[in-house]
Structure 1
Amino acid sequence: MKDLFYKLHQQLSIKTKLIVAFFTVALLSVFLMASISYVNYTQSVKHDFYRLSNEATLRLNQHIEFYMVQLGKSTSSLLTGDLLQSWMKNEREFSTSEIDSIQNELRKNIALNYPEIVGMFLVTTDLKVLEMTNLPLSGNHSYTGEPWYSNSFHHDIRVLPTHIINYPIVNDVRVVSIEVPVYSIVTLELLGKLVIDLELNELERIFDNANLVSEGSFFAISEDDLIVYHENYDWLGISRSETDLVEFNLSSEEKASIQNVYGQRQLVSISKSESTGWTFVYTVPLDKMASAMQNTPNIILITLLIIVVSIVIIVPWITNRFVKPILDLKQFMLRVEKGDLHVRAPEMSGNDEIFHLNRSFNNMVEQIDELLSNVTSLELREANLLLREKEAIIQALQNQIDPHFLYNSLDIIKSIAYMEDVSQIVTMSRNLADFYRYTAKNVTKVVTLREELEHLKHYLALIQVRFPVTFHSQINVDDKFLECTVIKLMIQPLVENAIKYAIEPNDGKGSIIVSAHDEDGELVIKITNTGLKIDDKKIEILNRKISSITDNVHEEYRKQQSLGIANVHCRIVLKYGKQYGVSIAANHDEETVVFVRLPI
């Protein structure tokens, strides 16, 4: 798969790649934008829904609490009556008329204030019950099955969740019970409780008033997961697990969430009452609360179609503006490939990449043209040097023929001097013959330092004959340097130059000292003369000339006709490079020193 994608990528044109890239980026952008918008919108809807539902639930809870508290307070005057207090204390037997009197007081309170009260029951701590109810009682009615009939007595008002009462003849009556504690007005001892059974009419009215939208609904669940209130009357008082409400996830940590219930997405808000312990749940179908979300897919589709049409129309035009200069540049490069170095790409005004690309192309072609010209010039120079070298070799070979008469003549002079016992002439003729033989016999340019020093010794011997008393020479070169290769006729011309300009003008007085040492992995030959000192200005002029020769060595070499300092320096630079060559200095002993730097 990866290889197929790579081959396809190579075969596609830049224009096609740009269209595919723009199309892909556009699709991803639309998808990402839609996803982010949908998530943000959903979160916003959930947040707004929870805020509104929380306000409604808070009002609902406040209304219920206010209703319960007011109901409890309205009975406080009844609970302080002497007759009722006496009955609650169970101090004596009560007549039927006395009991009727207590019941009438309770009935009067119901009729005047709370018609939704089904019944009221006084329950003593020993579970004796005095009832007052608006419903006809069954013949064998019993209160033991009622949730309030127990030994559980509390010091505060309690609300019992919805349940089905068992005492009336009428079946399936569902009520909410309120337990109001009864205290002794003398000792403040808890005597029992007043139980008030309420029909759900008032609760239903409170829940309906709290509803936000017509499609929304409230339901309330007790701490025991019993249904306290729901619009479906048949579910009241039974466990949530026995109804379809079990589909709601009430354990969610989110106070507002979107849940799939009854095959429909619902916005669900959950809040708990601190006073009753009930959990209030408010649900609204998502499409009713966030109708704009239903249009999101259509909006995304329309946006996608607009983007696709825009890509099909605009991208080819845009890519053509980008690709055409590149295609033109490709044609220019093909012309350069064929050897046309005079072609130039148009440098349009601007500062974009195409402008820089064309300018770089033009600079490249100019540099190639210049490099080719330089290479051609260098090749011509090299050809001239080779030609001059061949001419020099031919001339040297010719010179090997010409000196034969000179060598024979010198040998005859040496023989005559030997026969006449003139040793000085013998020495001079022998050294002179050896000197010229070395010069002419070997046309190669590289010899060992040993050979070069032997040649120098012959020359110094001739000078010693000329100045036998005042001239001295010394060669101090370690044996480890003797096999180093050097350019032929390198040291002797420099020594000859020193004798010509420093020893001879000084009537032959002075010394020539030749030494060698290793400096940073390079061979340095030092030629010191103690004759006439060259002044510093002259030395500076000579070094500047040597530096000029280094920078223009090919031109300067053609000008050199003699074997002087310039000639030697030219040959060293041509052979080894510009970092090597000859330099001149004066030391602290008023001596002139010529340095020759060579690779080892």
Structure 2
Amino acid sequence: MRKKFLKQSLKTRIIYLYTIFVLVLMGGITFYTYYFNVNLLKHKEDSILQDSLAYLEQTISARIELVNDEYINVFDDKQFLQLYLGSQKSEMDKGTRLKLNNDFQIYLAELKMRNHDIIDAINLYTSDGQVFSSEYRYQMTFEQFQKTTNYSDCMKNKNKILYRNMEVDNGQFHMLRSFYFLDNGKSNYPSVGYLSEDDEDYSTLVFSLKKKYLRNVISEEAIERQVSVLIIDQNGKIVVREGAMDWMSEEERSELINEIEDYVSQGYQGNFEKNRAGIHMRQMDIADWSIVYIYNMNILYQQAGQIRKVAVVMFTLAVVVVFLIASFISRTVTKPIRLLAKSMDEAIENNMEVVFETKYEDEIAYLGNKFSELMHRVSTLLTEVKSIEKQKNVEQQKALQAQINPHFLYNTLDMVYWLAKMERQDNIANIIADLADFFRLSLNKGEDITTVKKETEHVQKYLEIQRVRMDEKFDYEITIDSNVEESNVPKLILQPFVENTLIHGFQSVNYQGKIRISVIREEEDIIFFIEDNGIGMDKDLLETLNDSRQIERGEHGYAIGNVRERIYLYSGNKHNIAFDTSVEQGTRVQIRFPFEFKEEVKYDENVSR
């Protein structure tokens, strides 16, 4: 199958591969789009429900918080304290007791009326067994109250406000607190005490709150969000519930409610799914109760079904269109490729000036243009190579001539040397010897490559000759790292800079000149340093010398440009020459050359020389 496919034309393969690719891609996109939108719908629904939960929690908590504030303020109310202290008198006639009951009822009824939307009744159970209520008939006697879990919870949590749901649903839930008053001896009114552990010292104030208020608040959200809303107490028991769950069976509803109650009793907050229901749970700030949303996931799946239908239609249309697009694309690809192949055939026939032309501006056109540039570069490089080869032939001929001429020069200098010796002119003999060595090292047997040791010996001979000529107006020092003595470098790379120092650096100075030459190895490079204490140079000249593009064969540039050119030819643009100077503070030249290099010319027409 693979061999058969490879034997097909490029156009056929492009159509085949493009069709498969697009179909797979469209299938993947369709599949991803469907599930992405389903998850997006789910995320959006989750976000809406979470916002709704937060709204309910804030609404209910804010209202209960106001009642809580009313509850707390009771214990600082002088009227309440007067009534309560009046009820604690051991001797009280019937008329006084009736008045006290009536005053208490009025006080508690007024408190209830200020919060009539949520408070159903207020009852006070005193430590001596009395009951005072906002109603004409209170709900239970003190003895009955003592038998309830509300009383036992209050005694276990003395002086703490508790929120409790009734075991038997009578439409109420309770806010209650046990307390006793301690006479502090500093005022006419006692303060709430915290020290007694005896249950008989404690009275209990109970606010009976309406579950109807909770139902009214949550029913609006249940209808608008199409959810079932539950408020569950800290023990996992349902306080109120609104919204139908008729999409589930009775068994499924019972199982889900039991699981939710277990989650709440464990303090769980968050989301989970079960039996096609999405459950969102949030704890309330007050009472440690939780609000729970139960969402019918079938509604979400119905919306997802509509998205799935649209996705299938889009995929079907894509299948119809893809083949036509693939055919068109294959033609736009194969045509410029054929033109490029034709240009390459011309290049094979040694037409290096071939130019690729196309009306397209795509990757094939880019490749063709690069091919044209390549042919132009090849043609340019061939011309340059021919020119360099021609120049090398000329240099080789000059080298052959140079191998003949030095013999006469050396013999003549040797004769002068011995004549000076015979006349006991040692200074002249030494200069002749230095001059002979200078020429010998300069010619280097016609080779352009020498060693670091020979190059420094060459510049040393030059400096010795110049010291005699300039009446020893300068000193010099040469140090070489022993690791680089036998390393190869182009010849005559130091003498031009030393000559510049003598001609320009020590011009018009009235102090002893100093030249220091050092050679070190730094990683994979050899570095020559040439330093002097001459007059230096100005900023413009320094910038010119450091910019290889601006060096001309002028007063300062001929020899330097020659050295830079040869370093470039052997090592590339990375290794070069750098100047550092300031007026009247001397000059420092750094020449960098590779420690190891191939003795062949490098070509790179993109690098500025």
TM, length-normalised to structure 2: 0.45
Q: Which has the larger radius of gyration?
A: 1
TM, length-normalised to structure 1: 0.46
